Structure 1
Amino acid sequence: MKVSPHRITSLSQVSQRDMPASNTGKTQAAPKEQTAFSPELGMLQQARDKLDAMPDVDLEKVARLRQAIANNELPLDLDALSQAVLELHRR
């Protein structure tokens, strides 16, 4: 799925009557008004469900970083760290 920053229309619900009729050849007598979601909203919901299924923290990465810190393999830039702390507290 390609995400485009040039989206013009908003995601919205569409009613069953606004959707194209299927080619089943069957006619229905006064269908009930049903609300269906637009295809974009359906894709967004699927992406959201997949994102919700992912863990909040990458525990493997945390373990690798802890090991790198313990082995003195992770360089520490004290100037950058202090600058980040100052920026955090200026907000």
Structure 2
Amino acid sequence: MTAQCLTILGLALDIVGVALVWYFGWPQPNLEPGVGRDLEDGTPYGPNGETVADHNCKVEQQRSRYRRISIFGLILLIAGFSAQLVAQLL
């Protein structure tokens, strides 16, 4: 692989990584469990019959998803910068 191809690959990885970190990284939406009221886990919440425990479970899943995708974006950024560094050293 030529240095020019490595540089292009690095820039492409950086663009995708920045987009992922920008959207899923900082600032993240409020993903705190709970509904802002003093309700117990079994209390129905919302018009669809969802309980507070169901809501908390969905929030935790979303928080985990955001964390995984933002870490993947950071890995893409590091890989992109590394590819560009290698291209400059060739």
Give the TM-score normalised by structure 1. Answer: 0.34
More helix by share: 2
Larger Rg: 1
Give the TM-score normalised by structure 2. Answer: 0.34
Q: Which has the higher contact order (CA 8 A, sep 6+)?
A: 2
